[in-house]
Amino acid sequence: MPAHVIVGAQWGDEGKGRVADWFAKDADIVARYAGGDNAGHTVRVGNDTFKLHLVPSGVLYGSTINIMGNGMVVNPLKLVDELRGLDERGIDIDPVRIRLSRRAHLITPAHIALDGAREAQRGSGKIGTTKRGIGPAYTDKAARSGLRTGLMEHPERFAPALREHFNRKNRQLEALYNAEPIAVDQSIDVLVEAADYLAPFLADVDFELYEALRAGKSVLCEGAQGTLLDIDHGNYPYVTSSSATAGGALTGLGIGPQWVDRITGVTKAYTTRVGAGPFPTELDDERGDRLRGTGANPWDEYGTTTGRPRRCGWLDAVVLRYAARINGLTDLVVTKLDILSGFDEIEIADEYTHHGEPLAVFPSEADTLDRVEPITLSMPGWQEDIMSVTTLADLPQAARDYIDKIADLSGVPVSLATVGPARHQSIPIAD
């Protein structure tokens, strides 16, 4: 298989990390194509839980090469911490198997300060960003004033470029936001030290991917965030700043479309969202609380990156059909089916109305999405604990019917369902 794209079909946190880990066992290369350390991908291996923010999930398989693509924004201090943390836990982080594009963009402490200052200025209209500096770093990229990862190989140019960057950003922070300036010398010192650590990981990853694909190697493209957080196709402005959809896998890695033969959308069996913005099927009642959990279980709905409680609601097939169209999904993975055990009835939104009229096309305006009325259908739930089920035949009939309904409403076959965070808690579904 040449390139297989894994993409979030909702608002992020669908379980992409564990799904990428599942498919990584058959991949030669795992490549992240978008976002930065706003992502938090949880992978359980045996009794160990890994929360990956920048490094692709394939790192947990010894034989895999792991690529961070040009579509990413990378905070060098966070990447050093993540690599050191993996090293301490016995994961092989040799630069031979961990490759960072020279064309990715850097996140600095000034981007983080600007992220916080811009959110404060937005007041009640805030996006609820992860405050990791994502938006300001992508802003600089688009404005052609960004700092690229490749600079880290050239200390004689890196330090002056950083000084110029901090001076410019400090003027913005002080004049536009009345915010504290960044300590320039100290910030340069730590970034230059991080650059020294990271330089051996830098590579022309687009070339390496091309050579690998031509040699018949298989590449798993690991998405971050989700379709509804995509800068173009998400519900703007309540989005992140990267191309989180399948098209982003091509531009974010520098590979041509002819290599891609599978595009797997990952969806939870229900819906969650962190941060602000419209959410048609959100449940503000005890059913939403039940989906969220109390925080007692590691999989309860509290953010991997920020710890914020996630907003929860029913599955939204209108969103899934939109994700299927925008990404060209070939199949769906349904995660966290176990969380629905114990509901008498489960609902799925199948249509939106707006001012009483059915909407034919997924709305482009956040304001419209905020005002739609979801029309839901109801299905009987199941009471059994399904966390130890490993075959479709052993799932309660109501759970099998629910999976069939998801395929039916989304128009995309379901290839895998998961019933717990561990590798073995996965149920392959033959079509």
37 is known as an active-site residue: no
Please tell me whether residue 71 binds ligand IMO under the rule CB under 6 A.
no
Amino acid at 166: F
The count of C-alpha atoms lying within 13 angstroms of the C-alpha of 221, restricted to the half-sphere facing its C-beta, is: 39
Work out whether strand 98-101 and strand 73-74 pair parallel, antiparallel, or are unpaired.
Answer: unpaired
Please tell me whether residue 128 binds ligand IMO under the rule CB under 6 A.
yes
Nearer to ligand IMO, 14 or 208 (CB): 14
Site string for ligand GDP, 298-337 (x = CB under 6 A): xx----x------------------------------xx-
Taking the CA atoms of the chain, what radius of gyration do you get in angstroms?
A: 21
- Region binding Mg ion by CB under 5 A among candidate stretches 105-113, 139-147, 304-312, 335-343: 304-312
Selection from Mg ion, ligand GDP, ligand IMO, none that 187 binds (CB < 5 to 8 A by kind) is none
Selection from Mg ion, ligand GDP, ligand IMO, none that 4 binds (CB < 5 to 8 A by kind) is none
Closest CA to 243 of 234, 225, 229, 230: 230
261 is known as an active-site residue: no
Nearer to ligand GDP, 117 or 333 (CB): 333
Axis-axis angle for helices 109-122, 155-177 (nearest 10): 20
- CB neighbours (10 Å) of residue 223? 37
Residues 6+ apart with CB under 8 A from 87: 93
Q: Are 299 and 336 in contact (CB under 8 A)?
A: yes
Residue in 13, 230, 316, 338 annotated catalytic: 13
- Region binding ligand GDP by CB under 6 A among candidate stretches 35-43, 94-102, 196-204, 238-246: 35-43
Please tell me whether residue 418 binds ligand GDP under the rule CB under 6 A.
yes
Residues 6+ apart with CB under 8 A from 149: 74, 76, 100, 101, 102, 103, 104, 105, 106, 198, 202
Please, what is the Cα angle at 176 between 171 and 181, to 5 degrees? 45
Nearer to ligand GDP, 41 or 405 (CB): 41
Residue in 41, 53, 111, 165 annotated catalytic: 41
Name the residues annotated as catalytic.
Answer: 13, 41
The residues that touch Mg ion, with contacts defined as CB under 5 A, are 13, 40, 304
The residues that touch ligand GDP, with contacts defined as CB under 6 A, are 8, 12-18, 40-42, 44, 298-299, 304, 335-336, 338-339, 418-421, 425
